[in-house]
Structure 1
Amino acid sequence: MALDSRSLTPAQRYALVLVDLTVGFTDPQRSPLASACDAVVAANAQLLEAFRRRGWPVFFTTVAYDDPAQARVFREKLPVLDVLQAGSPLVEIDPRLEPGPDEPVIVKFWASAFFGTNLAELIRQAGADGVMVTGLTTSGCVRATAVDALQHDFRVLIPEQATGDRDAQAHAANLRDLNIKYADVRSVEECLALLG
């Protein structure tokens, strides 16, 4: 039996959360975690420009470890995460999406951008009641961040082309599931239209 899933009322003000659009996830020549995602980066650049033009808040995330005790069980499960060492070029935001001076880069250790960080507080301080979640990867950190955003009572919107995954089937399945239960998945064009 299908769930009675409804579209969310649009937020009054969105914050853009760009999840892990770092060299470690965008440059397959340099990182085992990365995938070919030029189209995802380009879609994020479009959204970034629109948010900046409107003056709405923007937050980036990166995963960067400087202590073996950080997220130790997560790293035991996925040892490849150890390449994301603080100070490494792999944890820097992709230069095509250079953060502005008033756009914080939230350092996280786990999948969700909210877990163990002050992101929810910063979003509320910025006067946002909704979050557009973009980035990499759909089945991992994007999903975890979107679910946690809902659990913080934010209206969650996911611009479809601004997310990506190493696994196309996982990408599609997770977007479908997120759209049913936790967020509204819309095209980048529909999301841009909300920004005016």
Structure 2
Amino acid sequence: MNAPHDATAPLRFGSSDLSLPEELREPLRAHVDHLRKRYLARGWGGRVGFGDRPALLVIDMARFWLDDSQQIGSNLNAVMDGVVASLAAARAAEIPVIFTSYPFDPAAPPSPHDKKLNFQLPEDGAAMFDLDPRLERRPTEPLIRKRYASSFKGTNLSEMLSGLCVDTLIVVGISTSHCVYATCRDATDSYRVIVPQEAVGERCELLHEANLLDIDIDLGDVMPLAEVVAHLNGLAK
């Protein structure tokens, strides 16, 4: 990661009840930076860089996760700002843009994972998974409805990216520790993974920090949003 967090600053997003105590924030982030250096000393955490044909994947920017009055929602306005900036640069560069959300279906059969999270949704819960209008999704930008954390599992995302000859996947959205991480994990063996750090987030500060480090060390490049936008702006010229 090229520009570490201000170690004393709280996240500008998430749930207040899941944030780090102030006295732990600086030691944790200092330790994260220490771990990154130790991994680099072992030859782990190199840069993958951009390829020639990037695409932008926008993960789960829907009300269920963005509305802090919802069961697992939180204030993610700062993340939305980063996603919108990523979208503007991607559209100007005319690279593929793909969205994901959840296919709410009360008739879907149960799975063991249902025991981990007891969904609390109204009968008309499908609207909770509509994309936020601030994204201004265009008719030419596909929307994948996925049942699992990874955007690849049980979807045609891989075939879609192959058909577009994509070699670099810019991943933005939520949540860092769940769908963003799982997608990066599944993408890393086939694509150069780029994560703009201000364009991903989640409800829990500790999980965000730990998983962002893991992505940066093992799966792709976590970069300042400004650097990703600058790269895309270069493609638009």
**TM-score over 0.5 for the pair:** yes
- Amino acid across the alignment from 2:76: C
**Could you say which residue in structure 2 is the equivalent of 1:64?**
103
**Could you say which residue in structure 1 is the equivalent of 2:147?**
109
Deviation at 1:98, TM superposition (A): 2.4
Contact 2:104 2:125 in 1 (8 A): no
Deviations 1:68-95 (A, max 9, x none): 316x222222122x63978622110011
Contact 2:51 2:168 in 1 (8 A): yes
Contact 2:196 2:223 in 1 (8 A): yes
Whole-Å separation in 1 of the counterparts to 2:191 and 2:122:
29
Residue aligned with 2:188, SS: helix
Aligned residue pairs: how many? Answer: 192
Whole-Å separation in 1 of the counterparts to 2:123 and 2:79:
24
Equivalent in 195, 207, 222 of residue 185 of structure 1? 222
Which residues of 2 match residues 11-26 of structure 1 at below 5 A?
A: 11-26=51-66
Equivalent in 88, 93, 96 of residue 126 of structure 2? 88
**Could you say which residue in structure 1 is the equivalent of 2:182?**
144
When Rg is computed on C-alpha atoms for both structures, the one with the higher figure is: 2
Deviations 1:146-186 (A, max 9, x none): 111113x1100001010011111111111111100011000
Deviation at 1:16, TM superposition (A): 0.6
Residue aligned with 2:231, SS: helix
Overall identity of the aligned pairs, in %: 34
Deviations 1:104-138 (A, max 9, x none): 11000010000000001111212211101111110
Which residues of 2 match residues 150-161 of structure 1 at below 5 A?
A: 150-151=188-189, 153-161=190-198
TM-score w.r.t. the length of structure 2 is 0.76
TM-score w.r.t. the length of structure 1 is 0.92
Deviation at 1:23, TM superposition (A): 0.9
